A and B are shown apart, each in its own frame.
Chain A
């Protein structure tokens, strides 16, 4: 999976969690919750989705890495690089 694939996966998850938000214009280096209406339950949803879709466990101490899109991509790409997009 490429960096672009991982970014797309995060966008897909965000689209499910916050369907009323415009996620197409997300800036990768600004905090997600400053751009779209996300609360702590929404971040929990991201963690649950990653576990469900990819069997990836994000420990609580690593939640801070999910604050920005760039953070998500750099944190998750090493874990997903050997997976195919269909998984």
Chain B
């Protein structure tokens, strides 16, 4: 490889209003909004693809694998329409067949309030009044609630001892945002209610189509997009953002909106020396969320699979158990089935199996053990799938696995976290601009700001604050309202 190194920053301006670090859904959405508000925006992405965890990859044989496409709430339609384009929002379609299969029950559902109420009453024998009150409580939860109650306590209150009901209510949310029974109940209530509104949705055209459309919209709005561009440092002087270093080159900017991991932003990109000790105490308490393993299976060209569900929460564990779900010895898998309707005209199928996982379980392995364990994961996944798609081994002609190490390599997130940080990360993220003028963070934090909808909406919330900050830099421009 003697190719001269390409200058990925060729033609870059010497200064911007905002540099957005990272092109996850939060980073892209905030970049788009800030550009529409008239600011000069540079969007820097270290990878060659945009999208962050909203990504895909292609393999020989015409396979396209989606990492996180299936399963966002209805609210995404509105978010895509308001902050992206009407055309993008029109491609959102419902996934109508959500399936559970485990030793406690086997259930199909459209995953909305009406059907859940029906199943909780008919299948689990819960009184209507209890179900209704549970929905009202979950829906009514907000930021100001008492944080002491955990999801476990919430379930214990309404469905005491009913671990089957707990599993029915919890498994999909664990898949969606990595939350557990021991997280604050309000994180559960907010996310669960978002789904229960109308069900579970996906994007017709696939992740590649979505990100391509978003890229075009960003360019139309004047965002300077730079892939292969690693932001190495945020320059700060006198508690003010001054600029960034990207691929060794200094670029001035008035503000930075980091879609990099929260802890990476504070500890590595900015540097602890710029924050006061009280704030750093809070930072130290922020727990990273867990990571994931996935197995991607491409179905041979011309082969088909029957419609066995869109999302299948399958488990051989006796009960839902947080520890067991993270265990390397996998007992629970969520299968996302991608049928030809996802990419109309292609007539191709793929299946992605996801499990939550711990980084340290995979990071410590020798190279040969790592390879072997990945291979074993692929094989045990095929074994588990055989029950739902008989003859699966004959239909699959491409299989590969990703681990927390893979997630770390592509997203650069510490410990490969695939759901950002736990709840305490939200306050730290929100308080960042109070520590350093012009430094903002948006990305998966606090569970509620996770997933496609949470990330995109958090990008909007933080773009609003960045816009406010930038306008206040020009004195006399703003009429401050007061009554």
In the assembly, what is the distance between CA of A17 and CA of B478, in Å?
23
Contact A79 B460 (CB under 8 A): no
Is A7 positioned at the interface, with any CB of B under 8 Å from its CB?
no
A39 surroundings in chain B (CB, below 8 A): 75
In the assembly, what is the distance between CA of A51 and CA of B467, in Å?
9
Contact A45 B467 (CB under 8 A): no
Nearest-neighbor residue (CB-CB) of B461 within chain A: A44
Is B471 positioned at the interface, with any CB of A under 8 Å from its CB?
yes
Contact A57 B480 (CB under 8 A): yes
Interface residues on B, range: 20 to 34
B457 surroundings in chain A (CB, below 8 A): 41
In the assembly, what is the distance between CA of A45 and CA of B464, in Å?
9
Name the one of A17, A52, A75, A79 contacting B82, with C-beta atoms under 8 angstroms.
Answer: A17
In the assembly, what is the distance between CA of A52 and CA of B468, in Å?
10
Shortest CB-to-CB span from A74 to chain B, Å, is 9
B304-315 vs A, Cβ < 8 Å mask (1 yes, 0 no): 000000000000
In the assembly, what is the distance between CA of A55 and CA of B475, in Å?
12
B380-416 vs A, Cβ < 8 Å mask (1 yes, 0 no): 0000000000000000000000000000000000000
Is B481 positioned at the interface, with any CB of A under 8 Å from its CB?
yes
In the assembly, what is the distance between CA of A65 and CA of B352, in Å?
48
**Contact A55-B477, Cβ < 8 Å, known A44-B464, A65-B483:** yes
Is B12 positioned at the interface, with any CB of A under 8 Å from its CB?
no
Point out which of A41, A47, A54 has the most chain B C-beta atoms below 10 A from its C-beta. Answer: A41
B354-391 vs A, Cβ < 8 Å mask (1 yes, 0 no): 00000000000000000000000000000000000000
A22-47 vs B, Cβ < 8 Å mask (1 yes, 0 no): 00000000000000000101001101
A52 surroundings in chain B (CB, below 8 A): 37-38, 467
B441-483 vs A, Cβ < 8 Å mask (1 yes, 0 no): 0000000000000000100110010011001000001111111
Shortest CB-to-CB span from A28 to chain B, Å, is 18
Contact A48 B464 (CB under 8 A): yes
Is B163 positioned at the interface, with any CB of A under 8 Å from its CB?
no
In the assembly, what is the distance between CA of A41 and CA of B38, in Å?
21
Is B322 positioned at the interface, with any CB of A under 8 Å from its CB?
no
Nearest-neighbor residue (CB-CB) of A62 within chain B: B481
A57 surroundings in chain B (CB, below 8 A): 468, 471, 478-481
B464 surroundings in chain A (CB, below 8 A): 44, 47-48
Q: List 28 A-B contacts (CB under 8 A).
A: A39-B75, A41-B78, A41-B79, A41-B82, A41-B457, A41-B460, A44-B461, A45-B82, A48-B467, A51-B467, A51-B468, A51-B471, A51-B478, A52-B37, A52-B38, A55-B471, A55-B477, A56-B478, A56-B481, A57-B468, A57-B478, A58-B481, A59-B480, A59-B481, A62-B483, A65-B483, A75-B483, A79-B481
List 18 additional contacts besides A47-B464, A76-B481; criterion CB under 8 Å.
Answer: A17-B82, A41-B461, A44-B461, A48-B37, A48-B467, A51-B478, A52-B467, A54-B479, A55-B471, A56-B478, A56-B479, A57-B478, A57-B481, A59-B481, A62-B483, A75-B481, A75-B483, A79-B479
